[in-house]
Amino acid sequence: MKKAAGSSSSTPKPTSWVLPYQTQNLREIYTMGKKLGQGQFGTTFECTHKATGRKFACKSIPKRKLLCKEDYDDVWREIQIMHHLSEHPNVVRIEGTYEDSMFVHLVMELCEGGELFDRIVKKGHYSEREAAKLIKTIVGVVEACHSLGVMHRDLKPENFLFSSSHEDAALKATDFGLSVFYKPGETFSDVVGSPYYVAPEVLSKHYGPESDVWSAGIILYILLSGVPPFWAETENGIFRQILRGKLDFESDPWPLISDSAKDLIRKMLDRNPKRRFTAHEVIAERLSEEEIGGLKELFKMLDTDNSGTITFDELKEGLRRVGCELMESEIKDLMDAADIDNSGTIDYGEFIAATVHLNKLEREENLVSAFSFFDKDGSGYITIDELQQACREFGLRWANRLRGICCNDEEGKRWHWEENYDEKQS
């Protein structure tokens, strides 16, 4: 974590001060400009650095609104968390912190493109392709927060800003005023957040970082439809809907939205936080039809009778046409692995799930799963025969990657997982 810019000494923290150090006077360094926004605790202004002419945003928090020690601690924690996350490209960067007898000032990167909320209002809703790009950024921020032990607790479109007015401007998270540090397994009971986006377990006063994924799922629903999934005329009505309401995938534009997008929303809005997707799993999912377009065409090529399913004979013939020489027993193994419902055929969903799953396995953190997949007999070893089969199925690059993280045993006859690989590399 970086030390706050603007600090010049490390004096003891006075009772009525937020920062544990003294700072220069903000107005000696910056010229204050127009008001940019108003929050519950602070007002944000544009400011200009006198020496360089660079423009920033300054969030000024009046101390008269800090009524107790916990309020002071909350502001200090917000500053710490922003520094903690400051290197992430999709988090608004904190430039410096300043304090005087009346205010605490947070000088931050200036994002001139406005809020995501405003763009949703202007557009009505986004296409799947556009929504996929935005939600991957949002969930990427959530994953970064969680990997660093931070829970945002107030994810909503108003708290994501575009760096500029350009259509393809970077999206950046802001306002960590409700964020907290947490330890694995730690739960919280204070009800915080914004009504439409709060997770059911927050309302039940027993929650953890999974609640951020729920909020991101609400944002995704809004990106695709333009309206929140759970709404009512009153706050209590909204909360009742969050606890018991049903997702509407029948109204426009949902009939035109892909099943994969709707399935992802269901997994992000599972009311059971233990079953809910993690931020990491959300990133691994495929949302955009464009992204799986190539697989869609491959499925059509294999499904020669356009029945919507691939039979054993169609799979065998399709593999032969693309020059893949597998024995019938090996093709049968492929069929069995992909045929989740044991129908004897592979439907489109099973085909996409199987191929996307293999794509996920290429990620470094999932190599243990890849090892298990190749270890056909579950012996804990990969034999030469199993490795050769893997080469035929997935290409030589799989074998090369496995060689990099597995160790030779019994004169090269088999490969076993080396559990301490990461430690040895470091």
Residue ranges per structural domain of the chain: 26-109, 116-284, 293-359, 375-425
pLDDT of 80 reads: 94
Q: Do 201 and 211 meet the contact criterion of CB atoms below 8 Å apart?
A: yes
Mark whether 339 is an active-site residue: no
Please provide residue 249's backbone torsions phi and psi, each rounded to the nearest 5 degrees. Answer: -115, 20
CB proximity list for 191: less than 8 A, separation 6 or greater: 198, 202, 203, 205
Tell me how crowded residue 395 is: count the other CB atoms within 10 A of its CB: 10
Which option is the CATH number for 116-284: 3.40.50.2000, 3.40.1390.40, 3.40.50.720, 1.10.510.10?
Answer: 1.10.510.10
Average pLDDT (17-36) is 93
Report which DSSP code applies to 2.
P
With a cut of 50, say whether residue 341 has pLDDT above it. Answer: yes
CATH number for region 26-109: 3.30.200.20
Average pLDDT (348-377) is 57
Query: How sure is the predictor about 358, in pLDDT bands with cuts at 50, 70 and 90?
Result: low
With a cut of 70, say whether residue 392 has pLDDT above it. Answer: no
**Percent of the chain residues topping a pLDDT of 90:** 54
Q: What's the maximum distance between 2 C-alpha atoms anywhere in the chain? A: 80
- Alpha-helical runs (H) found in 124-271: 128-147, 200-203, 210-225, 235-244, 259-268
CATH fold match for the domains 26-109 and 116-284:
no
Cα 151 from Cα 162, distance rounded (Å) = 22
pLDDT of 172 reads: 96
Average pLDDT (302-312) is 87
* 122 vs 291: which has the higher pLDDT: 122
Q: Do 13 and 20 meet the contact criterion of CB atoms below 8 Å apart?
A: yes
**Percent of the chain residues topping a pLDDT of 70:** 74
Summarize pLDDT for 262-274 with one digit per residue, the tens. 999 999 999 999 9
Q: Is 324 helix (H, G, I), strand (E, B) or coil?
A: coil
* 290 vs 93: which has the higher pLDDT: 93
CB proximity list for 264: less than 8 A, separation 6 or greater: 220, 277, 282, 285, 287
pLDDT of 362 reads: 45
- Alpha-helical runs (H) found in 155-288: 200-203, 210-225, 235-244, 259-268, 279-284
pTM: 0.66
Nearest to 47 by CA among 6, 89, 8, 101: 6
pLDDT of 241 reads: 96
pLDDT of 339 reads: 74
Average pLDDT (188-210) is 96
With a cut of 70, say whether residue 44 has pLDDT above it. Answer: yes
pLDDT of 276 reads: 95
With a cut of 90, say whether residue 8 has pLDDT above it. Answer: no
pLDDT of 396 reads: 42
CB proximity list for 211: less than 8 A, separation 6 or greater: 151, 153, 193, 198, 199, 201, 202, 273
Average pLDDT (406-418) is 39
Please provide residue 47's backbone torsions phi and psi, each rounded to the nearest 5 degrees. Answer: -140, 155
**Catalytic pick from 73, 74, 100, 154?**
154
Report which DSSP code applies to 246.
P
CB proximity list for 397: less than 8 A, separation 6 or greater: none
pLDDT of 46 reads: 96
The domain at 293-359 falls in which architecture?
Orthogonal Bundle (1.10)
With a cut of 80, say whether residue 324 has pLDDT above it. Answer: no
- Is position 35 annotated in a ligand binding site? no
pLDDT of 116 reads: 96
With a cut of 90, say whether residue 212 has pLDDT above it. Answer: yes
Please provide residue 244's backbone torsions phi and psi, each rounded to the nearest 5 degrees. Answer: -135, -10
* 375 vs 195: which has the higher pLDDT: 195
Which range has the top average pLDDT, 12-26, 307-321, 323-337? 307-321
Query: Whole-number mean pLDDT of the chain?
Result: 81
pLDDT of 364 reads: 39
